[in-house]
Structure 1
């Protein structure tokens, strides 16, 4: 049988936002309750703590810190070999390296959010208890995503400390755009993660092939590794509307201080920021709707506590 949410006090229907605000509708009148806001924030912080424990509880803390620094290296080692050794004349090493690093920061978040559904249901067998708690499942996923995003950014920052001087990468950061882009990037990743989690809620068996195909497709089309202008015109135009493309290009410009290729060069940095903000708003709203729908359907179909030993 499916697991349903307990009745909330005051018959309030709370629409949670990641910043901790909640819009409560009581008897048809919309108003905000400070208690509801505090409850959302507590649930969000508790979910961040759970995510941190899951990420780091397999070893000693100092070993985990070393792992944190070493883990991102695998994501850009191939780029260094490809462009730093065999493609020196192209001058695309900064473009590809920065693009790969920032794509990694997003992909680790939304794929971790999706896989957390399988982990909580199959591995830890706690998904039904999460649904029974006072924290909404959307808030729980967003808290887990925040921890993963901060871990990814920390790993990037640590590795840039040696990548920039060793590879002589252009580094003229605009901190305003970097901070704004990082915040909006979290919302982009969380929105995609919520959408993928909604699919995983309705999928009993983990389908790794679909996830791998999605990862590879977005990696190529987002322009992370090489400029989409190398594609045929149709695919190059499609690449401009991939959700990660404006974010990656914004972060490239914000950290390097220059336009590295002709891809999206017709847009100013401020226009890129606006496009990223629009993508973040649309994706987060869409992901919230989809995960709410997926949660209801999973409860009705009894998928919350189903295990397959897969």
Structure 2
């Protein structure tokens, strides 16, 4: 256990150094603030288009804004886990040295992704604060909801890490050209997981897909906690908060089990084919 914790800490430190060493600390902080604010302005522009077509709807804007804010976790976490193998193998060509060291490479990837989660957390806080102070987003966060919120947040991030590890296991056997997979998968979640709009606006087959993705329930319970007065039909009203939390817990366990299987399978076939440290030369 101590070896895993030490591996996680060092990998997290390494990930942070790699993410932030391109500039001075103060400029990195400025960048970390400006980036989510710029994303919020893009969302405002999208809302103005909806407003022009359908009229002003503050509840719809709150719904869209909160979902988009927490989607930052999705993009950052999936990219942070998926790109570890790709970057170590293709860019830095250090994977052979890390892989043969007496550590768990699975834990190492989780540690490397931790810095992405930290930066994403800061970006989400900045986005929510900016929306509340300057865009009129209504948040109603009661202190009694803090345990539920923290539990759902932890489970949501855990599911994302597990999905990212699944993609990482696949990347053992793929060339560097599949780097866009870490962007394409979040795009699917963006469409089917009720990020900008409720499931009720999707056709039946798309709603079925959305209900099969655990992130849909994470976004829903997050909105229930932070913005419970939107009054929008999400098609998930039949689930209680504890029911959704239970679904997230089961999903986390299932996806972590699946991630171990896919990761070990990809690792096995990559070792067998001699592809662990094989770079893409075209």
Partner residue in 2 for 1:202: 173
Is the Cα–Cα contact under 8 Å of residues 110 and 192 in structure 1 kept in the other structure?
A: yes
How far the C-alpha of 1:309 sits from its partner, in A, is 4.5
Is the Cα–Cα contact under 8 Å of residues 95 and 260 in structure 1 kept in the other structure?
A: no
1:62 correspondence with 2:26 = yes
Partner residue in 1 for 2:13: 49
How far the C-alpha of 1:238 sits from its partner, in A, is 2.0
TM-score, with length taken from structure 2: 0.91
Partner residue in 2 for 1:166: 134
Is the Cα–Cα contact under 8 Å of residues 60 and 230 in structure 2 kept in the other structure?
A: no
Q: How far does the alpha carbon of each residue in 1:170-215 deviate from its partner, in whole angstroms, 9 at most, with x for none?
A: 2122211221112112211110000000111110232245444323
Partner residue in 1 for 2:207: 236
TM-score, with length taken from structure 1: 0.83
Distance 1:159 1:103, change over 3 A: closer
Partner residue in 2 for 1:8: none
Query: Where does 1:105-184 land on structure 2 (aligned, <5 Å)?
Result: 105-173=73-141, 174-184=145-155
Considering only aligned residues, what root-mean-square deviation do their CA atoms show, in Å?
1.8
1:296 correspondence with 2:268 = yes
Instruction: Decide which of 222, 225, 229 is 1:251's aligned counterpart.
Output: 222
Number of equivalenced pairs: 274
Partner residue in 2 for 1:273: 245
Alpha-carbon distance in 1 for matches of 2:224, 2:86: 37
1:305 correspondence with 2:277 = yes
Distance 1:161 1:284, change over 3 A: same
Is the Cα–Cα contact under 8 Å of residues 76 and 116 in structure 2 kept in the other structure?
A: yes
Partner residue in 1 for 2:185: 214
Distance 1:43 1:208, change over 3 A: closer
Q: Which structure dedicates a bigger proportion of its chain to helix?
A: 2
Partner residue in 1 for 2:56: 89
